[in-house]
């Protein structure tokens, strides 16, 4: 194959890191394929002036599509053949002419609490201010620690880290471990302990991270996974994506996203869900918070890995 293949990505540091991983996987699988990168600005990148939960409303974008719509327009226009996404930002239901073709092997799925002084979540003093723009993180934090104060925090990952390091507004912020690993702030493998960040930025390197185990703080569906969206009728892109996809990650994220779809959580239902594969078994655990507040419904289920859609259905049915 010596023709070109164009991938589309957002322009944030995190998105570009994900594009680099994708290009590396493509280069390894298809040494002769000429891969071109097309960087695209999305509504979510443009509107950093309002809370993330408001962007879709003020922009008239389909909910949750604020980071993906412009990439779909580029797919439609054949300006790109494959869109590289953080899978957790991709709506669970796509228009018929698009499809998620595959996912790369997953990065860590955990959430991380970042502080200036290394205080762990359980030791944050009452009234401490935690910044996040995710309703899932906000509601779960409030449930675990009703004495904390949660306020909105926007911007890309380095911006958020700088806000914590330089301003007195936040005592802590929350981010995905996957993003911190991809940007080089945390090593790939480590225990749940509190450790300093690394990286070129001296201010950011003063911060400390606590990796919260997934059974303590439930991640988002698809967290840590890089997904490839293509035109559903593009057999070549489908073939190419398939070759760099990772099977176990695929089975897990299919289950997680199907569970979210069954809840119709495109709305603002805060949902934490995670999966693991062990000896042919798919393990699923979920916390679903009612929109109005209160305790979550929970689910904990194991099923055969061969049918992740059914496993998600069983998890959905078992919520109590
Ligand atoms: N919503 C923004 C977003 N989308 C993906 C990631 C991190 C990478 C990932 O979870 O795959 C982040 C930042 C964050 O949540 O900290």
pLDDT tens string 132-156? 999 999 999 999 999 999 999 989 9
Mean pLDDT computed over 233-241: 98
Q: What is the CA radius of gyration of the chain?
A: 19
Mean pLDDT lowest for which of 61-70, 213-222, 305-314? 61-70
Give the residue, by CA position, lying nearest to ligand 1 atom 7. 179
For residues 142 and 293, give the distance between their C-alpha atoms in angstroms, rounded to a whole number. Answer: 10
Is 0.80 surpassed by the pTM of this model? yes
Catalytic residues: 89
Q: Residue 303 in 3-state DSSP?
A: strand
Q: Into which CATH architecture does domain 247-320 fall?
A: 2-Layer Sandwich (3.30)
> What is the CA(162)–ligand 1 centre distance, in A?
17
Query: Which of 9, 43, 84, 86 to mutate to test ligand 1, by most ligand atoms within 8 A of the CB atom?
Result: 86
ipTM of the prediction: 0.96
pLDDT of residue 243: 98
Look at domain 111-212 and name its CATH class: alpha beta
Give the residue, by CA position, lying nearest to ligand 1 atom 4. 86
Contacts of 140 (CB under 8 A, 6+ apart): 217, 218, 270, 272, 287, 289, 296
Asked whether the predicted pLDDT for residue 181 surpasses 70, the reply is yes
Q: Tell me which residue of 271, 57, 221, 52 sits closest to 153, measured CA to CA.
A: 52
pLDDT of residue 292: 85
- Compute the CA torsion angle 198, 199, 202, 203 (nearest 10 deg): -70
> What is the CA(180)–ligand 1 centre distance, in A?
9
Domain boundaries defined on the chain: 4-104+225-245, 111-212, 247-320
pLDDT of residue 101: 98
Give the residue, by CA position, lying nearest to ligand 1 atom 1. 89
Give the residue, by CA position, lying nearest to ligand 1 atom 8. 179
Higher pLDDT, 253 or 55: 253
Q: What pLDDT digit, counting tens, does each position of 250-287 carry?
A: 999 999 999 999 998 556 689 999 999 999 999 999 99
For residues 249 and 311, give the distance between their C-alpha atoms in angstroms, rounded to a whole number. Answer: 15
Of all residues in the chain, what percent carry a pLDDT higher than 90?
82
> What is the CA(3)–ligand 1 centre distance, in A?
32
Asked whether the predicted pLDDT for residue 210 surpasses 70, the reply is yes
Asked whether the predicted pLDDT for residue 59 surpasses 60, the reply is no
> Which stretches of the chain are assigned E, i.e. beta strand?
4-9, 34-39, 82-86, 98-103, 111-115, 129-131, 149-151, 172-176, 194-196, 208-212, 226-231, 271-278, 281-288, 297-304
Higher pLDDT, 307 or 64: 307
For residues 167 and 161, give the distance between their C-alpha atoms in angstroms, rounded to a whole number. Answer: 10
Mean pLDDT lowest for which of 45-49, 203-207, 237-241? 45-49
pLDDT of residue 220: 97
Residues with CB under 6 A from ligand 1: 86, 88-89, 157, 175-176, 178-179, 223-224
Look at domain 4-104+225-245 and name its CATH class: alpha beta
Q: What pLDDT digit, counting tens, does each position of 105-117 carry?
A: 999 999 999 999 9
Contact present, 182 and 195 (Cβ < 8 Å): no
Q: Which atom of ligand 1 is nearest to the CA of 52?
A: 1
Same CATH fold assignment for domains 111-212 and 247-320: no
> What is the CA(206)–ligand 1 centre distance, in A?
21
Q: Which atom of ligand 1 is nearest to the CA of 220?
A: 10
């Amino acid at each position: 194959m010596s023709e070109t293949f164009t991938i589309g990505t957002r322009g944030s540091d995190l998105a570009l890191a994900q594009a680099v991983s994708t290009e590396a996987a493509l280069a390894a699988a298809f040494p002769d394929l000429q891969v071109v990168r097309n960087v695209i600005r999305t509504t979510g990148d443009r509107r950093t002036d309002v809370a993330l939960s408001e962007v879709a409303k003020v922009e008239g974008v389909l909910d949750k599509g604020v980071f993906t719509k412009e990439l779909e327009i580029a797919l439609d226009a054949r300006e790109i053949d494959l869109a590289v996404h953080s899978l957790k930002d991709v709506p669970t239901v796509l228009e018929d002419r698009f499809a998620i073709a595959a996912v790369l092997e997953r990065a860590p799925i955990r959430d991380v609490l970042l502080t200036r002084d290394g205080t762990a979540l359980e030791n944050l003093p009452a009234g401490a201010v935690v910044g996040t723009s995710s309703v899932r993180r906000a509601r779960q934090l409030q449930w675990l620690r009703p004495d904390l104060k949660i306020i909105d925090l926007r911007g890309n990952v380095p911006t958020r880290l700088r806000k914590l390091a330089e301003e007195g507004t936040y005592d802590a912020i929350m981010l995905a471990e996957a993003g911190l690993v991809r940007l080089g702030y945390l090593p790939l493998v480590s225990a749940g302990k509190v450790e300093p960040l690394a990286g070129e930025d001296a201010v950011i390197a003063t911060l400390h991270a606590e990796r919260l185990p997934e059974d303590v703080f439930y991640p988002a569906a698809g967290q840590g996974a890089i997904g490839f969206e293509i035109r559903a009728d593009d057999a070549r892109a489908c073939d190419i994506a398939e070759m760099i996809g990772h099977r176990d990650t695929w089975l897990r994220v299919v289950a997680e996203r199907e569970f979210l779809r069954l809840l119709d959580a495109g709305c603002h239902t805060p949902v934490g869900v995670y999966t693991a594969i062990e000896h042919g078994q798919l393990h699923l655990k979920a916390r679903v918070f009612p929109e109005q507040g209160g305790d979550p419904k929970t689910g904990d289920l194991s099923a055969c890995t061969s049918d992740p859609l059914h496993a998600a259905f069983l998890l959905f049915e078992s919520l109590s």
